[in-house]
Structure 1
Amino acid sequence: MRSDDQAADGDRRSPRAADALAGLLVADESMRSVLLRVAEVAVQTLADSSEASVTLVERGRPTSASWTGLLAFELDEAQFGLDHGPGLEAAVSGRALVVGDMRTEKRWPGFADLAVRQGALSSLSTPIPIQHGLRAALNLYSPEPDAYGEQQQALVRDLAGVAAVAIGNMHSYDQVQRTAAKLQEAMASRATIEQAKGILMARHRIDAEEAFQVLSARSQHANRKVRDLAADIVAEFDGGGPPVTG
């Protein structure tokens, strides 16, 4: 069990740890790096020998999204294989779960036995309240029994709240980036199609509507996308294909 001095150190660390997450610039990060930072800050906040991980459940599929050590990773993966365990249940249920002593734990016997063999005697799994169809939990594993009392639980709960904001911001940024990429791709495709139409109009002396009908007919006949056929026409023209007349 942690001493009062260690708990006080955790209290002093917590605001700085929260600031480390709140100050993340999403443009400089990836979702993986943000989740790893969440796990690292959790360990720094408690200032003990814990290892931490983040369990992420998306569309019913759990993954260990980040971890600070092999023990945390292996214990996460064990829960996925067994289909039970505190981290997995915390992520799905949204309830914080504490294991004071794995040697006497009865809720998840298979997992608890494995954890003891791996050297983890207590754990704390705190849900991260994110949205966007994602469920997550911040997990801490300690080689000491009863490592996570009420004060430690409160610290990690506060940290999970800050982590939720950082993860939500990163998820929103990723969505914006993906949308921008799709728009850019669509604009590029449209420009290519317009170029191909212009080439066909000049080559066959037809108007814009007829040129698009030619592209559409070729697309259906070849079972290819219009934009791909348009790209071929533009590439052929740029590479010295048949001259454009008129």
Structure 2
Amino acid sequence: MVVADTPSDLLTRMTRLICRTVDGVEDCGIAVMHHGRAVTVACSSDLAALNDEIQYAAEAGPCLQTLESGSAVQSEDLTDESRWGRYPAAAAGGGMRSVLSLPIDAAEAGRGALNLYSQVAHAFDENDRLACTEFAGIIAGVVVATAHIEANPTLAGRFRQTLVHRSEVAQAVGVLMARHRCGPEQAFPLLLAGRERGEDLYAAAARIGASARPQS
């Protein structure tokens, strides 16, 4: 028997499809507003997830600007970027150079953002932008189709878990800052580099955070 993908599985597959088919895109994430907070609902890799998490921690970045404005926002080289506080330095420290956030207009379901990342400066040309704008329209249709999140226990659980992950990432970054006597710009890449074999970003964050708690 073939089991149908859940909406979150489908969105994750979409991010990976974008990376495979659009030349300039190396990583990709999808964020939406949920009860006034930005939440990443799908991403192609841990590096994409980390870049979204850096923006949430900094409370600034192209994703958040797109969610607020409903317009496309681009940085062609994060190493030469003066917007968004500490986000550019932290993202560049983790290897990112180009970012393009495109609006997802999901009508009554609210705004979203399709976040495109590359480790190369000036990565996205007009063809990439047009192709990803079409993908954003398809993604909007998926989000609209699952607009009643509270009535969908799978998606509701996904949102709750995402907010737990955000708390764990923040705690892990604080632990790494204390251990290495560094700022968040250096701590976020350390989190990605500190994964053990088989761990994803959030499992590593939970482990690092737990390691700093007093043992009972």
- TM over 0.5: same fold? yes
Which residue type is aligned with residue 30 of structure 1?
Answer: T
Distance (whole Å) between structure 2 residues aligned to residue 177 and residue 98 of structure 1: 35
Alignment match of 1:81 (pick from 57, 61, 84): 57
**Where does residue 120 of structure 1 map in the other structure?**
96
CA displacement at 1:107 relative to structure 2: 1.4
Q: Which has the higher contact order (CA 8 A, sep 6+)?
A: 2
Which residue type is aligned with residue 95 of structure 2?
Answer: G
- 1:161 pairs with 2:161: no
Distance (whole Å) between structure 1 residues aligned to residue 25 and residue 134 of structure 2: 20
Distance (whole Å) between structure 2 residues aligned to residue 49 and residue 128 of structure 1: 17
CA displacement at 1:37 relative to structure 2: 2.2
DSSP-derived class of the 2:146 partner: helix
**Where does residue 107 of structure 1 map in the other structure?**
83
Distance (whole Å) between structure 1 residues aligned to residue 68 and residue 6 of structure 2: 24
Which residue type is aligned with residue 54 of structure 1?
Answer: I
- Of Structure 1 and Structure 2, the greater helix share is in 1
Alignment match of 2:41 (pick from 59, 65, 68): 65
Contact 1:95 1:127 in 2 (8 A): yes
Note the residue ranges of structure 1 that are not aligned, 5 or more in a row: 1-26, 179-246
CA displacement at 1:175 relative to structure 2: 4.9
- 1:144 pairs with 2:113: no
DSSP-derived class of the 2:100 partner: strand
Distance (whole Å) between structure 2 residues aligned to residue 140 and residue 177 of structure 1: 28
**Where does residue 27 of structure 2 map in the other structure?**
51
Distance change >3 Å, CA 48–CA 176, structure 1 → 2: closer
**Where does residue 38 of structure 1 map in the other structure?**
14
DSSP-derived class of the 2:111 partner: strand
Counting matched residue pairs gives 152
- 1:29 pairs with 2:21: no
- 1:95 pairs with 2:75: no
Distance change >3 Å, CA 121–CA 168, structure 1 → 2: same
Distance change >3 Å, CA 172–CA 147, structure 1 → 2: same
RMSD, aligned α-carbons: 2.4
Distance (whole Å) between structure 2 residues aligned to residue 143 and residue 176 of structure 1: 36
Percent identity reads: 26
Contact 2:79 2:97 in 1 (8 A): yes
TM-score by length of 2: 0.64
Contact 1:58 1:133 in 2 (8 A): no
Distance (whole Å) between structure 2 residues aligned to residue 52 and residue 63 of structure 1: 14
TM-score by length of 1: 0.56
Note the residue ranges of structure 2 that are not aligned, 5 or more in a row: 155-216
Contact 2:58 2:85 in 1 (8 A): no
Show the 5 A alignment for 1:96-245.
Answer: 96-171=72-147, 175=151
